[in-house]
Amino acid sequence: MWGILAGGIGFPGGQCLQAFHAWNPGWFSQGFLSQLDTHMNWWNMMETGFGAVFGAVLGLGLWRNRHLVMAHSTPQEESNLDIRAEWTLLVLYALALACWNFLDFGALDQFADFALTMGMLPFLAVAAGRFWPFWLCLPITLLPIAGKTVRHMVYETSALGPLEGWTFCFVIPMLIALGASLFWAGKPRLEMSGRRYCQFLLILNAWTYGLLNFAFFKFPWPWAPFDQWTSRSPNNLIFMACALGLTAGAFFLRPEKQLPKDCDQV
């Protein structure tokens, strides 16, 4: 319900930015706003506003229900999926996800274009497996985004050569994400506080997607002269500021409160 509320408020809230620009051209016809307008991609600003409001409302909902995110200190239950089955499902799903995003298979597209159908396998695998919750947060979510970055940077714009594009925009991020997921899925890490995992995941994902976005925006360096800014420069500044803020927030989270002996915060 909080997710529905976040989307219901976030999408029209973000669209208000784009609509305000379209309906009030006089505001952007002179002065500093007229100069800024030449470097603004208002569609991106709509998406950025949508994401910011969506994330804020969803975070508020999680915070208000944080007392429910608890787990009693009972012996850890064994996963219902064998490790070989988990890896097999990972490979099959990754192939299906890649084909759906980058190739044209009519039968697969008819099934996957409903979107919810592509979520059923991860939903079941996360509920039954030990590795899948970490894979979904890291390499599976990253796969289509890194792939689209390579497609844009290497094949659509030729901003990067094939070797450097595939290496820095796909292979290295995917290896880091997969390695991190395996590290945190290990039994010693499963016994650690979930707060540490969330701190780590927040920093890793913020900078992974921030840097991929920076490449997708054709490296809009913030110190470039204002007259050399691109239509992506303002968004890039927003993303970098958010990444720094999230990193600072993760580093300076308050120490965990002492919890009853029979439970541990997840």
**DSSP notation for 100-121:** HHHS--HHHHHHHTTSHHHHHH
Residue 249 is assigned to a structural domain of this protein: yes
Give the confidence band of 254 by pLDDT, cuts at 50, 70, 90.
Answer: low
173 with 249, same domain: the answer is yes
Of 227, 260, 217, the closest CA to residue 38 belongs to 227
Residue 245 is assigned to a structural domain of this protein: yes
Of the residues 43, 69, 95, which one is the last residue of a structural domain? 69
Q: How many domains does the chain have?
A: 2
d(CA 12, CA 224): 33
What is the torsional sign of CA 76, 80, 83, 88? negative
Residue 10 is assigned to a structural domain of this protein: yes
The answer, yes or no, to whether residue 227 has pLDDT greater than 90, is: no
Question: What is the per-residue pLDDT across 191-221, written as a single tens digit (0 to 9) for each?
Answer: 777 788 888 999 999 999 999 999 999 899 8
Question: What is the per-residue pLDDT across 83-136, written as a single tens digit (0 to 9) for each?
Answer: 899 999 999 999 999 999 898 877 777 877 777 788 888 998 998 888 999 999
What domain range includes position 175?
Answer: 130-255
Higher per-residue pLDDT: 35 or 261: 35
- pLDDT at site 252: 83
- pLDDT at site 198: 86
Residue 30 is assigned to a structural domain of this protein: yes
Q: pTM score, two decimals? A: 0.82
Partner residues linked to 265 by β-bridges = 70
DSSP 230: -
| Secondary-structure breakdown of the chain: helix, strand, coil percentages, each rounded to the nearest 5 | 75, 0, 25
Higher per-residue pLDDT: 224 or 77: 224
Residue 265 is assigned to a structural domain of this protein: no
